[in-house]
């Protein structure tokens, strides 16, 4: 199971081990789900309605958007912003899971609550994600800018993007959209850990010793948790993306209409007036596919790497005992 478990034999997972497993899980997952992320961001930033029945904007369906991006920008476009996205995933995964393991252990040691209950995982998961968000927000903004730009490119590479944004927009531009991000990430991540805990217990009430995860059940439970969590908190993700591309309107002009927002409230009001309630859920379809794959693979690979480290440590301990026995 994810999180501190006092019933597991052997030494608990150290912060370094949790950080390594989290960053490795983030890296592998990011490489697999990047195309869905690019499509989702394009949908979120489009002012015109996203609908295949009454097409108004540049993109109006997942398959149409895929074909359009591939024809106009090539296959590599689905991995636009992949370097900052990978840095984001590695950093985010490391901070989130290290914080989560630390917080659940703290709950066990300092309170009367059981560290393996769904409620504890909701609170600890939300707090861990907030910590990771504050640390990684500049990388998320860079990733969004790269994914949002078309041709010709505004930013040639990561270094050029950082220097250009720093000079023209100031330091605070790297934290655009932080307010809606924090508002969304606590319930989103909390619900991910909450539902993952529930689904895992339902499908595997008593996991086999030494085989804590990295199997199909982890993938299924994570996918279900990701889809439910994303649907509930999706509008805040859309607000974040709209705010992150503020000051970047010129590069977005050939995609369709563009808007400038003074802040979170203004963003919400403008979207409600111009795009209606459905506007808050633009890009939900590719986002749900991405959330299912992303959350499922993240938990799958995290438990896989944790299990691998656990088995490696057990082997080392066995070898040490065997050597001591032979010496005697």
Tell whether 113 and 161 lie within a shared domain: yes
Helix 158-169 with 82-110: angle, nearest 10 deg: 80
Can you give the pLDDT at residue 209? 47
Of residues 251 and 245, more confidently modeled: 245
Per the domain annotation, does 57 fall within a domain?
Answer: yes
Q: Which of 190-194, 234-238, 314-318 has the lowest mean pLDDT?
A: 314-318
Helix 158-169 with 118-148: angle, nearest 10 deg: 90
Of residues 176 and 230, more confidently modeled: 230
Task: Decide: 220 and 203 in contact? Cβ < 8 Å.
Answer: yes
pLDDT tens digits, one per residue of 110-133: 999 999 999 999 999 999 999 999
Task: Decide: 279 and 186 in contact? Cβ < 8 Å.
Answer: no
Q: Quote the tokens at residue 209.
A: 């010793």
Tell whether 125 and 56 lie within a shared domain: no
Read off the pTM. Answer: 0.74
Can you give the pLDDT at residue 248? 61
Can you give the pLDDT at residue 321? 76
Tell whether 63 and 130 lie within a shared domain: no
pLDDT tens digits, one per residue of 155-214: 888 888 889 889 888 888 888 878 878 888 999 999 999 999 999 989 865 555 445 455
CA dist 267 and 195 (Å) reads 30
Query: Is the previous residue joined to 270 through a cis bond, with omega within 30 degrees of 0?
Result: no
Q: Which of 160, 175, 190 is the last residue of a domain?
A: 175
For residue 44, pLDDT over 70 is answered with: yes
CA dist 30 and 315 (Å) reads 31
Provide the CA 103 distance to its chain's centre, in angstroms: 19
Rg of the chain taking only CA atoms, in angstroms: 21
State whether the Cα torsion 42-40-2-186 is positive or negative: positive
What percent of the chain is modeled with pLDDT above 70?
A: 90
CA dist 271 and 265 (Å) reads 10
CA dist 295 and 154 (Å) reads 31
Per the domain annotation, does 69 fall within a domain?
Answer: yes
Residue range 134-163: mean pLDDT, rounded: 81
pLDDT tens digits, one per residue of 250-293: 655 556 677 778 888 999 999 999 989 888 988 888 789 889 99
- Using pLDDT thresholds of 50, 70 and 90, give the confidence band for residue 301: very high
Residues 6+ apart with CB under 8 A from 32: 293, 297
Q: Which domain holds residue 35?
A: 15-80+282-313
CA dist 180 and 239 (Å) reads 7
CA dist 18 and 128 (Å) reads 12
Tell whether 95 and 56 lie within a shared domain: no
Widest pairwise Cα distance in the chain: 81
Per the domain annotation, does 60 fall within a domain?
Answer: yes
What percent of the chain is modeled with pLDDT above 90?
A: 34
């Amino acid at each position: 199971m994810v999180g501190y478990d006092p019933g597991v034999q052997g030494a608990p997972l150290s912060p370094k081990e949790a950080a390594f497993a989290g960053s490795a899980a983030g890296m592998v997952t990011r490489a697999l789900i990047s195309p869905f992320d690019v499509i989702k961001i394009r949908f979120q930033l489009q002012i015109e309605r996203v609908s295949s029945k009454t097409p108004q904007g540049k993109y109006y369906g997942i398959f149409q958007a895929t074909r359009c991006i591939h024809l106009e920008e090539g296959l590599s476009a689905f991995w636009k912003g992949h370097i900052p996205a990978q840095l984001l995933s590695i950093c985010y995964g490391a901070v989130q899971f290290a914080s989560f393991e630390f917080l659940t252990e703290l709950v066990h040691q300092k309170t009367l609550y059981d560290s393996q209950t769904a409620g504890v995982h909701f609170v600890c998961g939300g707090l861990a994600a907030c910590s990771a968000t504050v640390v990684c927000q500049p990388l998320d903004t860079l990733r969004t800018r790269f994914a949002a730009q078309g041709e010709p490119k505004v930013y040639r590479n990561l270094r050029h993007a950082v220097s250009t944004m720093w000079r023209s927009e100031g330091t605070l531009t790297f934290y655009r959209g932080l307010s809606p991000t924090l508002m969304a990430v606590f319930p989103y991540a909390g619900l991910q850990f909450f539902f993952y805990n529930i689904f895992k217990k339902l499908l595997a009430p008593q996991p086999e010793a030494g085989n804590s995860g990295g199997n199909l059940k982890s993938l299924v439970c994570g996918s279900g948790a990701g889809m439910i969590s994303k649907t509930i908190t999706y509008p805040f993700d859309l607000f974040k993306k709209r705010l992150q591309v503020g000051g970047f309107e010129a590069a977005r002009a050939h995609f369709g209409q563009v808007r400038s927002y003074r802040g979170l409230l203004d963003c919400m009001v403008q979207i409600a007036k111009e795009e209606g309630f459905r506007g808050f859920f633009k890009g939900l379809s590719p986002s749900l596919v991405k959330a299912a794959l992303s959350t499922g693979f993240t938990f799958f690979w995290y438990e896989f790497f944790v299990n691998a480290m656990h088995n490696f440590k057990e082997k080392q301990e066995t070898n040490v005992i065997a050597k001591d026995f032979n010496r005697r």
